[in-house]
Chain A
Amino acid sequence: MTRSAIILVRIALLLAVLGAWEVLPRAGIVNPMLLPPLSLVLKTLGEILRRGDFQEAMAVTTAEVLVAFVIAVPLGAVLGVLSAENEYFGAIFKPMLFYVFSIPKSIFLPMFILVFGIGFGQKVAYATFSTIFIVIMSASAAVESIKSEYVLVAQSYGATRAQILRRIYVPSMMPILLETLRISMIFNFTGVMISEMYASRTGVGHMIANWGENFMLPQLFAGVVVLAVAAMSFNELVRYMEARWSTWRS
């Protein structure tokens, strides 16, 4: 199949799904109470986007996601590099990190509520906690992926430690780090959503949970569309950066 044929099929498939979403509830084949037709969801979407409380919730959620991301990614990257680079640090912390990584983070949520309450701080703390392990593991794998010859060559040309970090480590690790950025955002976003849906006074996750409990399906779907678009946009942005960075890869 040629590339354009594949793209055409993809578009056709998307249109088919969207079409079914509109037609099936209207025809009564699917219960419209459970799956409101697409046009109704989009109309509701337009309404809620204009609502002050939804805009406020979006602002809060965005802030939580960004703050947790800005804490978890650099901190996790530094810890990951340290655990790969420093023999003792690695020997002590790696097994521990590895074990904790395997536990589903959501079981710790009640403890976060007890310690941080149900406000902004708790969302950020929990999302950071659910994101940081994947960042540590990936950063440590990224360091281990650096070829020792690359470092040796730089040393033979008199590179200092700082120069090796900047000129060898960073570019060598960049493909894995960008990938990590993408995956950690998924973990981070999920962390914020779960903690908002579990116990909160505001935020998009909180509103979605409420709409669900009150059987307000058009609103619920509209909220889902907003979050899906936000998540996919970030994902595509990082993928675009990856593609630009990776021109040197075969």
Chain B
Amino acid sequence: MEHMAKLNRRPEHAPQAAVEVRGLGHIYEGRDGAVPALTDIDLTVPAGHFTVIVGPSGCGKTSLLMMLAGLRTQTSGTILCDGRPIPKPDPERVGVVFQEASLYPWLTAVENVEFPLVLKGAPRSERRARAEEMLNLVGLEGFGGRYPHELSGGMKQRVSIARGLVQDPPVLLMDEPFAALDEQTRMTMGHELLRIWSQTSKTVVFITHSLTEAVYLADEVVVMSARPGRILDRVPVDLPRPRTYQMMATDKFGQLRERIWHQIRDTP
């Protein structure tokens, strides 16, 4: 299976969708009655694709991501992850990288990365080797013994990414992973993420507020409206890969960014 996944690393060889959302709606019970949070969400993310979701605060992006992770249940519609519904979290299908540093401060970097394997009851030597391998992948070789407070913000998020990848899930969900970082670190981390992505052939769904980050990373940018969140536009980003920082200065990049900005700005 693993070998198959590696052969199918590019989307054109793997036409099936890794994430498929049909007619999804969500209503939550607020203090003043039912509040529609998401309506009519249809989303297809082909295997190996990098999809970025942008939208105003409170538009339900994070709720959507929680549903894709099996952490929340939608009111209506269907979600298929890797071909099957996801009624509860399944870390072998979907890995999640959270906002800010959600690392456990009482565990070292390598212990944080192997945490999902500990829950699964994997043998110690095996999980340690796997965690070290993931730390190497994210560029943190030799930092495994450090505690989170001994790492910089960017390094912490590298550890989070390693933790999300440790069970080799085909799908990686990322909820504003770089939002708390300074601009320079954020750019570096975006670049690093693309390198990791190209090495692992994951399907990524990435949430951000930064339009520059969205265009820089994405195969497709999904633009959502203010609450109740629905999809306003899907913007294919046909910039060549590998992406470079120089591309940000091109007209093409600017036009894509502008198109997304108009969609978001025009929503009340």
Contact = CB atoms under 8 A, between A and B. Distances in A.
A159 interface: yes
B96 A249 contact: no
A171 B148 CA distance: 15
B106 interface: yes
B98 A248 contact: no
A175 to B, nearest CB: 9
Interface string A145-170: 00001101111111100010001100
B60 interface: no
A147 to B, nearest CB: 8
Interface string B138-176: 000000000111000000000000000001000000000
Contacts of A248: 105-108, 147-149
User: Could you say which interface size class chain B belongs to?
Assistant: 20 to 34
A interface, by DSSP: helix, strand, loop or mixed?
Answer: helix
B118 interface: yes
A250 interface: yes
Nearest to B104: A150
A87 to B, nearest CB: 16
A29 B201 CA distance: 86
A158 B147 contact: no
Contact of B115 (A149, A152, A157, A249): A157
B99 to A, nearest CB: 8
A249 B71 contact: no
Select the residue from A155, A168, A171, A249 with max chain B CB neighbours within 10 A: A155
A158 B106 contact: no
Contacts of A158: 88-91, 116, 119-120
Nearest to A250: B149
B73 to A, nearest CB: 13
Nearest to B118: A167
Contact-size category for A: 20 to 34
A208 to B, nearest CB: 42
Contacts of A172: 106
Contact of B96 (A156, A159, A167, A174): A156
B69 interface: yes
Given A152-B71, A152-B98, A157 B105 contact: no
A156 B116 CA distance: 9
A106 B147 CA distance: 45
Given A149-B98, A163-B119, A167-B118, A156 B69 contact: yes
Given A155-B71, A156-B91, A157-B89, A149 B102 contact: yes
Contact of B91 (A152, A157, A167, A174): A157
Most chain B Cβ neighbours within 10 Å, of A149, A152, A153, A157: A157
B105 A249 contact: yes
B174 to A, nearest CB: 12
Contact of A155 (B89, B105, B149): B89
B170 to A, nearest CB: 16
Contact of A154 (B69, B119, B148): B119
A157 B116 contact: yes
Interface string A161-190: 001000110011010000000000000000
A218 to B, nearest CB: 49
A159 B148 CA distance: 21
Nearest to B117: A157
Contacts of B105: 248-249
Interface in B85-136: 88-91, 96, 98-100, 102, 104-108, 115-116, 118-120
Contact of B119 (A150, A167, A249): A167
A163 B148 CA distance: 21
A53 B105 CA distance: 51
A150 B163 CA distance: 13
A168 B90 CA distance: 19
Interface string B163-206: 00001000000000000000000000000000000000000000
Interface of A: 149-150, 152-159, 163, 167-168, 171-172, 174, 247-250
7 contacts: A157-B119, A158-B90, A158-B116, A159-B119, A167-B118, A248-B105, A248-B149
Interface of B: 69, 71, 88-91, 96, 98-100, 102, 104-108, 115-116, 118-120, 147-149, 167
Given A150-B104, A158-B120, A174-B106, 12 more contacts: A149-B100, A152-B71, A153-B104, A154-B115, A157-B115, A158-B91, A167-B119, A168-B104, A171-B107, A172-B106, A248-B106, A250-B149
